[in-house]
């Protein structure tokens, strides 16, 4: 099979018939064998009914999953990736803001250019400039700096992957924003970008607010830490803890040596507990010990971690 298209969705019943019709037209025009995998993320509207009707009409190309409740986009992508069988796997949003007409060129770029991943870049957006454009630019600039991946639109939902990429990365929590970074950390470093046309939302309202940028920053910090120390937390906590402990211990020894020296010379010396530096040194020792123990426990946990993705699939077609 040439192409798998994974479409996570939440309350997008009105968009689905038009979206599938356009995907089907593009695939047939270009002679691609394909499958569309709809992942209903616990929709409250008629999305699943619409998907069921589409499946009945096109059983050979549509596959679908429905979560019992709303888990989020990352779990939806994770489960969709597990089902995908195409040589090239696309992701796109269900709100019609991503154009199916972009898929053939992205497919050719991936195949002919030797890329592992092609990310869309919505260079001209139709979102509110205050609520989305400016925060998005700041977010993407920060992401480029930290990840080292020169993408202008890291969070664009329209992406193309080689099959082995999606089979060898784990998307969990809200890490869908950083799939290129996950791919890079897994060794897939050939990451390209294509300018794509952005369209105004035709039905319904956006499911994402400004809070996603705060969450995105925290997720980026988490990924950065995990990519550097996720499999060896002791290297971070142990090092910092040891340095703090050593600093505090040396300070206590110096204070003790100063008191002993002055007492030997018959010079009065106030109580060590009356000196503020003693408490700073003691704090360093305690923090250092706690960080070292935290690193040790994290090391033990990382070696025995169970699967993080445990989602209930209510129905499957």
Domain assignment of residue 79, yes or no: yes
pLDDT tens-digit map of 186-214 = 889 999 999 998 777 666 666 555 555 56
Q: What pLDDT score was predicted for residue 16? A: 96
d(CA 316, CA 65): 5
Is residue 155 domain-shared with residue 96, that is, in the same domain?
Answer: yes
Judgement on whether residues 220 and 288 belong to the same structural domain of the protein: no
User: At which of 205, 229, 253 does a domain end?
Assistant: 229
In a domain, 20, yes or no: yes
Domain count, the chain: 2
pLDDT score, position 146 = 80
Give the residue with greater pLDDT, 20 vs 275: 20
User: Do residue 163 and residue 277 come from a single domain?
Assistant: no
Q: Is 222 part of a structural domain of the chain? A: yes
Name the residue among 121, 120, 97 with its Cα closest to residue 199: 97
Q: At which of 177, 212, 229 does a domain end?
A: 229
- Same domain assignment for residues 196 and 241: no
- The band of 143, judged by pLDDT with boundaries at 50, 70 and 90, is confident
The DSSP line for 226-247 is: HHHHTT-THHHHHHHHHHHHHH
Q: Work out the mean pLDDT of the chain and round it to a whole number.
A: 84
Whole-Å CA distances, 187 to 18, 116, 168, 176, 191: 37, 10, 10, 17, 11
CA 285 to chain centre: 36
pLDDT of 251 strictly over 60? yes
Residue 50, pLDDT score: 96
Q: Indicate if 168 and 294 belong to the same structural domain.
A: no
Q: Are residues 151 and 297 in the same domain?
A: no
**Domain contains 313:** no
Q: Is residue 314 part of a domain?
A: no
Residue 311 inside a domain? The answer is: no
- Residue ending a domain, choose from 196, 211, 229: 229
Q: What is the pLDDT of residue 223?
A: 64
**Are 16 and 68 contained in the same domain?**
yes
Q: Is residue 69 part of a domain?
A: yes
State whether 166 and 18 are in the same domain: yes
Output 50 or 175, whichever has higher pLDDT.
Answer: 50
User: In this structure, are 165 and 266 located in the same domain?
Assistant: no
Q: What's the token pair of residue 45?
A: 């509207």
- pLDDT at residue 41 tops 90: yes
Same domain for 164 and 91, yes or no, is yes
123 pLDDT band, cuts 50/70/90, is confident
Residue 187 and residue 216 share a domain:
yes
Q: What CATH number should be reported for the domain holding residue 136?
A: 3.90.550.10
- 47-56 pLDDT, tens digit per residue, is 999 999 999 9
Q: Is residue 117 part of a domain?
A: yes
| C-beta separation of 72 from 309 below 8 A | no
* Residues 251 and 105 placed together within one structural domain of the fold: no
Report d(CA 19, CA 21) in Å as an integer.
Answer: 5
Rounded Cα distance, 104 and 102, in Å? 6
By CB neighbour count within 10 A (0-12 exposed, 13-18 middle, 19+ buried), where does 193 fall?
A: buried
What is the percentage of the chain residues whose pLDDT exceeds 70?
82
Is the pLDDT at 168 greater than 60? The verdict is yes
Q: Which domain holds residue 283?
A: 234-303
Query: What local confidence, expressed as pLDDT, does residue 210 receive?
Result: 54
> For residues 110 and 2, is the Cβ–Cβ distance under 8 A?
no
């Amino acid at each position: 099979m040439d192409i798998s298209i994974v479409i996570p969705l939440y309350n997008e019943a009105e968009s689905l018939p038009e979206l599938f019709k356009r995907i089907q037209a593009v695939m047939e025009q270009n002679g691609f064998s394909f499958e569309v995998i709809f992942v209903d993320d616990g929709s409250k509207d008629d999305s699943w009914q619409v998907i069921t009707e589409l499946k009945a009409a096109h059983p050979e190309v549509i596959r679908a999953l429905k979560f019992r409740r709303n888990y989020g986009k990352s779990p939806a992508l994770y489960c969709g990736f597990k089902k995908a069988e195409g040589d090239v796997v696309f992701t796109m949003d269900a709100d019609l803001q991503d154009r199916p007409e972009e898929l053939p060129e992205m497919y050719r770029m991936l195949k002919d250019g030797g890329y592992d991943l092609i990310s869309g870049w919505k260079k001209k957006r139709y979102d509110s400039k205050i609520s989305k454009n400016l925060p998005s630019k700041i977010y993407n600039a920060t992401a480029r700096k930290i990840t080292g991946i020169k993408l202008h639109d890291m969070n664009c939902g329209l992406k193309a992957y080689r099959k082995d990429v999606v089979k060898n990365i784990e998307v969990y929590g809200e890490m869908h924003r950083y799939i290129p970074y996950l791919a890079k950390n897994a060794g897939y470093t050939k990451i390209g970008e294509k300018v794509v046309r952005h369209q105004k939302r035709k039905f319904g309202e956006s499911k994402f607010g400004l809070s996603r940028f705060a969450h995105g920053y925290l997720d980026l910090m988490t990924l950065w830490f995990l990519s550097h120390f996720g499999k060896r937390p002791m290297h971070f906590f142990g090092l910092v803890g040891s340095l703090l402990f050593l600093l505090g211990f040396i300070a206590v020894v110096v204070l003790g040596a100063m008191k002993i020296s002055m007492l030997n010379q018959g010079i009065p010396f106030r109580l060590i507990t009356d000196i503020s530096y003693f408490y700073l040194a003691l704090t360093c020792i305690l923090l250092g010990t706690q960080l070292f123990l935290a690193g040790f426990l994290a090391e033990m946990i990382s070696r025995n971690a169970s699967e993080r993705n445990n989602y209930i699939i209510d129905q499957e077609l």
